């Protein structure tokens, strides 16, 4: 038997086992064996307008704009955005066409674009990041049988492996959970196998969608866990470091001066806690504290160190010892 080559738009009616006769058209009419791409689907020529389309536009984040009966050229779309949505033309950086939207979102004569504004470049992690269309779909277990999908446009690294793409979507740890039965990721409607460790090259307008099947729990519970993971990731500050002013540095502003004063007082209180009590405050730093050279009236003699007693005794007797040139003790 020869090998048949299939094309977009081909139709397979039915297939019967050898030796059987009959017509299976009534039973197999609802079976579609070939998925049609959006660019190959057609309408009635009398109703179709080749110069006008319904255009879906997604902005960074979850912004969505639908334009009706608009020409597909970039200039016409930008002018319609300014006329209908009051988006200035000068604020638009680019429009990236999504050539392969998720297969379940494709519609005939409905192009999909990503809107990049000039202010969006400030949220880039890297200068060469690209704007991609992403969708995360979670299906609950057999008991709940619910389904939730979230669409998001975000910046992605230009080069990434499968695990890195899931990490940018904050799904790498979630897909490894015990209650997740299956986690599929598609890159431009092509399945990205788990065993594929190749590096993909992303471009503006690419589409990534993830389909997660839960073995236990509903889709709503799964998204609640995803929100907790996202909040935890936002609280991480691995490489953020705020410089702390030192006590011997001159502050540059009033706010820095107050922060430096608070730090000095905090260090003095921590070093003398238990010597004057918890509620007291040192009048200065440890180096020039006045009670280092004399007894405090509220402190017993046993609480004073031997080094302090030697210094006090030498001053009382009117002579000087080698302890006079030493700095007062610290802790």
Q: In what order do the strands lie in the sheet with 112-117?
A: 64-70, 53-59, 112-117, 92-97
pLDDT in tens, 163-200: 999 999 999 889 989 999 999 999 999 999 999 999 99
Mean pLDDT of the chain: 74
Shortest CA distance to 111 belongs to which of 156, 173, 65? Answer: 65
pLDDT at 34: 32
pLDDT in tens, 79-112: 999 999 999 999 999 999 999 999 999 988 899 9
At which residue do the structure tokens 């400030």 appear? 122
pTM over the 0.85 mark: no
pLDDT at 228: 87
Report the relative pairing of strands 130-139 and 207-214 from DSSP bridges: parallel
pLDDT in tens, 280-317: 444 444 444 444 444 444 444 444 455 555 555 555 55
The most confident of the ranges 144-148, 151-155, 222-226 is 151-155
Tokens matching residue 83? 């006329």
Domains, in order of start, for the chain: 49-237 (3.10.20.90), 256-325 (no CATH)
256 confidence band (pLDDT: 50, 70, 90) = low
Backbone phi, psi, residue 59, to 5°? -100, 175
DSSP 91-107: GEEEEEE-SS--GGG--
CA distance 105 to 122: 30
At which residue do the structure tokens 């200039």 appear? 75
144 confidence band (pLDDT: 50, 70, 90) = confident
């Amino acid at each position: 038997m020869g090998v048949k080559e299939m094309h977009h738009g081909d139709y397979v009616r039915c297939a019967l086992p050898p030796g059987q006769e009959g017509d299976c058209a009534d039973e197999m009419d609802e079976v579609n064996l070939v998925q049609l791409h959006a660019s190959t689907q057609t309408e009635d020529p009398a109703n179709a307008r080749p110069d006008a389309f319904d255009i879906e536009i997604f902005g960074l984040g979850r912004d969505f704009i639908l334009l009706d009966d608009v020409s597909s050229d970039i200039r016409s779309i930008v002018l319609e955005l300014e006329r209908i949505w009051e988006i200035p033309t000068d604020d638009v950086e680019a429009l990236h066409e999504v050539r392969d939207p998720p297969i379940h979102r494709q519609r005939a004569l409905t192009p999909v674009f990503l809107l990049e504004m000039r202010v969006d470049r400030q949220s880039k992690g890297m200068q060469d990041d690209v704007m991609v269309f992403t969708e995360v779909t979670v299906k609950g277990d057999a008991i709940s049988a619910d389904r939730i999908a979230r669409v998001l446009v975000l910046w992605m690294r230009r080069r990434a492996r499968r695990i890195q793409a899931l990490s940018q979507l904050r799904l790498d740890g979630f897909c490894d959970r015990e209650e997740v039965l299956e986690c599929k990721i598609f890159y431009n409607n092509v399945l990205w196998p788990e065993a594929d460790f190749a590096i993909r090259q992303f471009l503006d307008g690419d589409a990534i969608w993830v389909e997660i099947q839960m073995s236990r729990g509903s889709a709503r519970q799964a998204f609640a866990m995803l929100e907790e993971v996202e909040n935890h990731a936002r609280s991480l500050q691995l490489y953020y470091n705020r410089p702390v002013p030192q006590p011997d540095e001159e502050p540059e502003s009033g706010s820095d001066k107050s922060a430096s004063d608070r730090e000095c007082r905090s260090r003095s209180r921590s070093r003398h806690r238990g010597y004057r009590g918890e509620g007291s405050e040192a009048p200065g730093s440890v180096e020039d504290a006045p009670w280092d050279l004399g007894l405090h009236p509220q402190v017993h003699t046993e609480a004073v160190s031997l080094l302090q007693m030697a210094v006090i005794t030498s001053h009382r007797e009117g002579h000087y010892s080698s302890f006079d040139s030493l700095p007062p003790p610290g802790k």
